[in-house]
Amino acid sequence: MTLLSVRAMTAGYGPVDVLRDVSLEVERGGVVAVLGSNGAGKTTLLRALSGLLPDCRGEITFDGTSLRGMRAERIARLGLVHVPEGRGTFPDLTVEENLAVGAYLNGDRSAARRETGRVYELFPVLKERRRQPAGLLSGGEQQMLALGRALAGGPRMLLLDEPSMGLAPLVVRQIFDALRAVVTEEGLTCLLVEQNASMALSMAGYAYILTVGAVTAQGPAADLADDETVRRAYLAL
Amino acid sequence: MQQLVQTLLDGVGSGMIYGSLALALVLIHQATRIPNFAQGEMAMLSTFVAWELIDRGLPWIAAVAITLALSMAGGYGLQRGLIRWVERSPHLTQVMVTLGVFMVINGVAGLVWGYLPKTLDGPVSSGSLRIAGVTTSWQVVGMVLVTVGMLLLLYLLFSRSRLGLQLRAAAQNPTSARLAGINVGRAYGIGWGLSAVVGAVAGVMVAPQTGLEPNFMFPILLYAFAGATVGGFSSPGGAVVGGVLVGLVEALTATYVGFIGTELSLTVALVTIVIVLLVRPDGLFGKKEVARV
């Protein structure tokens, strides 16, 4: 069953098209990776999906609902939650308050409490620092908080923008372990945009390769990881 | 000694008014980063609405309650109808727009209600109150209680309630707030509405003392800007403290510095702004604005 489908999407900023004619599909419960180098349009793709780019053309459907022209806050309330690149937390709110803002996406309070408890289980450091302003957290903790805030809302699908960016390998492992836990235990659907291709391919079932705004290759993640051109271009092997 | 205590009390009384309007300025600045020069005129308009309702026979409390509700709606409408279009404009454009709103409200109020001062009665007797040899008025006591109560309510709203948390999130990081399902435009509108309500409270408190005419809030707006600058534009509590400090400075200089008297007291407010900006540009309680370049 397809949860998210994108057909012939063209998007950009003002007169500049960054993405041209991009189509992709994400199965319910699946993890799909989008790989590409800097400037390939990965972030633009996610911004278009979450409604932050008002004039994008093409058809986007999420669980049968067309997202065309829908405002970002409405899309978030549908359960399609975007974890933006690099921080994206509320610096003067405490960790607890940041999670509470995310948890408001849950319909009821008991679900909000349950999901927030689950986030503290996944990232114990957030529980230790729950009364501190988010602005005082380290980069890795901020990334955990950004992901935690999305999870606290009980999302149906996550759009993850480079969760590994600028972080130490150990922290990257921690974040991906947590992600893998929610994906395997709860069957959460994810669209994962990454420069760290080996990490992304190890988690994803299917992957697309984006080159200067267009999809240039796609296939099961395992096949792409073995593909000679992909290995040379994105895995630096 | 008695004269000093008396002067300090007067200073606190007017300082509470400045603090309330300063709080309104800070609320808007926190939500939308706009210095709202129309704040005083918005408060003036609200006060005229209250006067009109009382004049038509409504009891004081009902008239003020309706006024506050209308102020909320008016502030919301102003942001959604006009200010949103300059949200991303340069500061100078935003300042010009709020100055334009200032002049429009001022002119319309003059047209509708005229320029002759009207009397607006307060809810408490204008009689005086003697405590330990010091004379003060019930009005001063009322102003202190109302301002402290208002501050407490706003504190609870912003720190405890869902709406307050969403308003703060929208102000701090609009993009992330939208991604968390918050309607940021609505949040900004509510911020302006709340600020209009706080301003209306200040207007209704000060009008019984100054008389009500279209220009009556202008000097108070200057003191409020001084108070917000002293306290720091990023700190709501600081704005109230700053307002009280400005009130004290005004009262003390008027009483003890012979050549200032009442004629130069507006100058004191402006001098205060300049000194604070030179010595501590972020105010006493403000946080440094850090811009990434």
Contact A224, A36 (CB under 8 A): no
The pLDDT of residue B288 is 67
A4 within some domain: no
Contact A149 B182 (CB under 8 A): no
Instruction: Please tell me whether residues A203 and A171 are part of one structural domain.
Output: yes
The pLDDT of residue B293 is 46
A168 within some domain: yes
A129 within some domain: yes
Q: What is the mean pLDDT of residues B119-141?
A: 77
Secondary structure, 3-state, B97-111: HHHHHHHHHHHHHHH
What's the mean pLDDT when you consider all of chain B?
Answer: 89
Instruction: Please tell me whether residues A148 and A221 are part of one structural domain.
Output: no
Tell me the per-residue pLDDT of A59-117, one tens digit each, with 9 for 90 and over: 999 999 999 889 999 999 999 999 998 778 999 999 999 999 999 998 788 999 999 99
Instruction: Please tell me whether residues A191 and A150 are part of one structural domain.
Output: no
CA distance B292 to chain A (A): 14
B126 — pLDDT class (breaks 50, 70, 90):
low
Nearest CA in chain B to A53: B175
Instruction: Please tell me whether residues A149 and A169 are part of one structural domain.
Output: no
The pLDDT of residue A26 is 95
Contact B21, B199 (CB under 8 A): yes
Contact B180 A153 (CB under 8 A): yes
d(C-alpha B11, C-alpha B284), whole Å: 19
Instruction: Please tell me whether residues A195 and A162 are part of one structural domain.
Output: yes
B256 — pLDDT class (breaks 50, 70, 90):
confident
Would an 8 Å CB–CB cutoff place A76 in contact with chain B?
yes
CA distance A55 to chain B (A): 17
Q: Are strands A206-211 and A31-35 parallel, antiparallel or unpaired?
A: parallel
Instruction: Please tell me whether residues A160 and A233 are part of one structural domain.
Output: yes
A84 within some domain: no
Instruction: Please tell me whether residues A71 and A119 are part of one structural domain.
Output: no
Tell me which of A154, A185, A202 is where a domain ends: A154
A220 within some domain: yes
Residue with tokens 């937390």: A89
The pLDDT of residue A100 is 95
Tell me the per-residue pLDDT of A16-44, one tens digit each, with 9 for 90 and over: 889 989 999 999 999 999 998 888 888 99
Instruction: Please tell me whether residues A66 and A112 are part of one structural domain.
Output: no
- In chain B, which residues touch A (CB < 8 A)? 162, 165-166, 168-169, 172-173, 175-184
Q: Is the confidence at residue A232, as pLDDT, over 50?
A: yes
Instruction: Please tell me whether residues A127 and A218 are part of one structural domain.
Output: no
Tell me which of A137, A154, A171 is where a domain ends: A154
Instruction: Please tell me whether residues A39 and A106 are part of one structural domain.
Output: no
Q: Within 13 Å and on the Cβ side, how many CA atoms surround A200? A: 27
Tell me the per-residue pLDDT of B99-109, one tens digit each, with 9 for 90 and over: 999 999 999 99
Torsions phi, psi of A227, nearest 5? Answer: -65, 130
Q: What is the mean pLDDT of residues A131-137?
A: 94
**In this complex, which of A102, A104, A153 lies closest to B162 when CB atoms are compared?**
A104
Q: Is the confidence at residue B174, as pLDDT, over 80?
A: yes
The pLDDT of residue B189 is 95
Look at chain A and report how many structural domains it folds into: 2
Tell me the per-residue pLDDT of A143-176, one tens digit each, with 9 for 90 and over: 999 999 999 999 999 999 999 888 999 999 999 9
**Alpha helices (H) along chain B:** 2-32, 39-55, 60-81, 91-113, 138-160, 162-172, 174-179, 184-210, 218-231, 236-256, 265-279
The pLDDT of residue B162 is 92
Its pTM stands at 0.88
Nearest CA in chain B to A91: B172
The pLDDT of residue B270 is 85
The pLDDT of residue A230 is 75
Tell me the per-residue pLDDT of B133-153, one tens digit each, with 9 for 90 and over: 777 778 888 888 998 999 899
| CATH number (domain holding residue A43) | 3.40.50.300
Contact A215, A22 (CB under 8 A): yes
Tell me the per-residue pLDDT of B180-217, one tens digit each, with 9 for 90 and over: 999 999 999 999 999 999 999 999 999 988 899 999 99
Contact B204, B67 (CB under 8 A): yes
Q: Is the confidence at residue B57, as pLDDT, over 80?
A: yes
Q: Is the confidence at residue B260, as pLDDT, over 80?
A: no
A235 — pLDDT class (breaks 50, 70, 90):
low
Buried b (16+ CB within 10 A) or exposed e, B235-246: bbbbbbbbbbbb
A162 within some domain: yes
Q: What is the ipTM for the molecules in this complex?
A: 0.91
- Parent domain of A236: 9-79+156-237
A1 within some domain: no
Contact A93, B158 (CB under 8 A): no
**In this complex, which of B165, B175, B184 lies closest to A101 when CB atoms are compared?**
B165
Nearest CA in chain A to B178: A73
Tell me which of A105, A120, A154 is where a domain ends: A154
Torsions phi, psi of A6, nearest 5? Answer: -120, 125
Tell me the per-residue pLDDT of A168-225, one tens digit each, with 9 for 90 and over: 999 999 999 999 999 999 899 999 998 888 889 989 999 999 988 899 889 999 888 8
Would an 8 Å CB–CB cutoff place A155 in contact with chain B?
no
Instruction: Please tell me whether residues A105 and A31 are part of one structural domain.
Output: no
Q: Are strands B128-131 and B134-137 parallel, antiparallel or unpaired?
A: antiparallel
Residues of chain A neighbouring B176 (CB-CB closer than 8 A): 84, 88-90
User: How many Å separate Cα B234 from the centre of its chain?
Assistant: 15
A71 within some domain: yes
Instruction: Please tell me whether residues A99 and A71 are part of one structural domain.
Output: no
Of A16-30, B62-76, B221-235, B267-281, the range with the highest mean pLDDT is B62-76
**A&B contacts, CB < 8 Å:** 66
Q: Which residues contact A170 (CB under 8 A, 6 or more apart)?
A: none
